[in-house]
Amino acid sequence: MKILYNVTVKVDEAIHLEWLAWMKQKHIPDVMRTGCFESYRIMRILGDDNEHGVTYAMQYISPDQEAFQTYQKEFAKTLQQDHADTFKDRYAAFRTLMQIEEEGK
């Protein structure tokens, strides 16, 4: 079964465009180069903007649990640390792992 790895990030409003550009140009390409995911989506969560920030969700689709576990063991710590070092104290993030039971069109 495919796995959906969702990372929700609330970014300071003052830097959210810089953050988004960095995600598109640096972080997401680095994540995809791991070979552990087959696709991704970037979404801005509507109705959640305020003086504390802008919220985005990045969704990565992994072909199976084994590929995701490889990502966790071999790549996640370094990639998450790179994000933390680049945007220290300017964001809050949480991660959710879901099994995709069915997809439709």
Q: Which pLDDT band holds residue 84 (cuts at 50, 70, 90)?
A: very high
Is 29 contained in some domain? yes
Is 75 contained in some domain? no
Provide the pLDDT for residue 49: 67
The mean predicted confidence, pLDDT, of the chain is 94
pLDDT tens-digit series, residues 9-59: 999 999 999 999 999 999 999 999 999 999 999 999 988 767 779 999 999
Weakest mean pLDDT among 48-57, 67-76, 81-90, 93-102: 48-57
What is the spatial distance between Cα 40 and Cα 61, in angstroms, rounded to a whole number? Answer: 6
Q: Which helix (H) or strand (E) covers residue 9, if one does?
A: strand 3-11
Is 37 contained in some domain? yes
What is the spatial distance between Cα 90 and Cα 84, in angstroms, rounded to a whole number? Answer: 9
Segments forming the whole domain that contains residue 50: 3-62+80-89
Q: What is the CA radius of gyration of the chain?
A: 14
Domain tally, the chain: 1
Strand partners, 91: 11
What is the spatial distance between Cα 21 and Cα 58, in angstroms, rounded to a whole number? Answer: 13
Is 97 contained in some domain? no
The answer to whether residues 100 and 59 touch, using CB atoms and an 8 Å cutoff, is no
Q: Any idea how long the chain is? A: 105
Is 43 contained in some domain? yes
What is the spatial distance between Cα 97 and Cα 20, in angstroms, rounded to a whole number? Answer: 22
